[in-house]
Amino acid sequence: MLHSATQISNYSRTRFDAQTSYGDTISHDIYRRGAGAPIVLLQELPGIGQETLSLADELVNAGFEVVMPHLFGPLGKTSVAGNLARVMCLRKEFHLMSRDRSSPITDWIRLLCRNVRDESGIDGVGVIGMCLTGNFAITLIGDESVLAAVASQPAMPFFRQGELHMSPADISQSRQALDSKGPMRVLRFENDPLCTAQKSECIHRSFNDDASRVQEITLPGKGHSVLTLDFVDKAGHPTREALNHVIAYFTQQLKPVA
């Protein structure tokens, strides 16, 4: 996907400020491109690199508008170690090791989703979270502003794979929302060292105990970033098939903008 990615300079940029329920005011740049039902695309730890920009192209080409908050790190390239250090410094926004509660940034993203919905005059938006932000998508589906959510390789809390980066209240709210909205999607590689089988079991235990609220798509191998760094744009490849499924899911769930 790398050779043809539309660069960030071709996106419109705005700033979104909001006060979270934690009492903090959070502000980040928002990059938007495309026309159609909005999908809020949340960056993973490596950053908004060429692979993420190519994923955005796929969504735009499928008829969606991409709304991409810039949460941390340089634009246009990836930096895992550098971005991890940056996120560690954003302690009022990210609680990397927390279990039984979401990071404050999730509350800010929820407000962003509501703002995008209201500005666009639509019923709701889609959300994609990946790795660091994967669990955020599971939380956000509980909000009325989000009609569809994809959690790709949700990894937090990193060292407690048998738990979720969500409070019991968040889990309950998302369960209720999924009962009416239909199953959300979770993507992961079978042998992912950061989003393990233990994490998968935790998600199923939390959401699929008495109904199918989460549909997991498990890919073979030991990759991690299903839709970006490990994506192979080749017909029949598991990652290509996973992305095709994601696009079909959003097409089904999000009503087209008139």
pLDDT in tens, 132-156: 999 999 999 999 999 999 999 999 8
Total number of domains constituting the chain: 1
Is residue 53 predicted with pLDDT exceeding 80? yes
Q: Please report, for the domain that includes residue 169, its CATH number.
A: 3.40.50.1820
Q: Which two tokens stand for residue 94?
A: 């990210």
Average pLDDT rounded to a whole number, residues 59-77 = 94
- Domain of residue 123 covers 2-253
Name the band, by pLDDT with cuts 50, 70 and 90, for residue 58.
Answer: very high
Task: Write phi, then psi, for 65 (nearest 5 degrees).
Answer: -95, 130
If one counts every other C-beta atom within 10 angstroms of the C-beta of residue 206, the result is 19
Measured between alpha carbons, how far is 190 from 19 in angstroms, rounded to an integer?
38
Q: Is residue 203 part of a domain?
A: yes
- Supply the pLDDT for residue 24: 84
Q: Give the CA radius of gyration of the chain.
A: 17
Q: Is residue 228 part of a domain?
A: yes
Q: Is residue 258 part of a domain?
A: no
Decide: 108 and 20 in contact? Cβ < 8 Å. Answer: yes
Decide: 18 and 26 in contact? Cβ < 8 Å. Answer: yes
- Supply the pLDDT for residue 98: 59
- Supply the pLDDT for residue 20: 86
If one counts every other C-beta atom within 10 angstroms of the C-beta of residue 72, the result is 23
Q: Is residue 157 part of a domain?
A: yes
Q: Is residue 174 part of a domain?
A: yes
- What is the percent of the chain where pLDDT is above 70? 91
pLDDT in tens, 175-196: 999 999 999 999 999 999 999 9
- Supply the pLDDT for residue 1: 45
Q: Is residue 204 part of a domain?
A: yes
What is the H or E stretch that residue 56 is in? helix 50-61
- Supply the pLDDT for residue 165: 87
Decide: 185 and 215 in contact? Cβ < 8 Å. Answer: yes
Q: Is 13 exposed, middle or buried (0-12, 13-18, 19+ CB in 10 A)?
A: exposed
3-state secondary structure of 184: strand
pLDDT in tens, 235-253: 999 999 999 999 999 999 9
Helix then strand then coil, in percent of the chain rounded to 5, is: 35, 20, 40
pLDDT in tens, 69-105: 999 888 998 877 777 777 766 667 766 655 666 788 9
Q: Is residue 175 part of a domain?
A: yes
How close are the terminal C-alpha atoms of the chain, in Å?
A: 30
Q: Is residue 130 part of a domain?
A: yes
Name the band, by pLDDT with cuts 50, 70 and 90, for residue 256.
Answer: low
Rounded to two decimals, what is the model's pTM?
0.93
Q: Is 35 exposed, middle or buried (0-12, 13-18, 19+ CB in 10 A)?
A: exposed
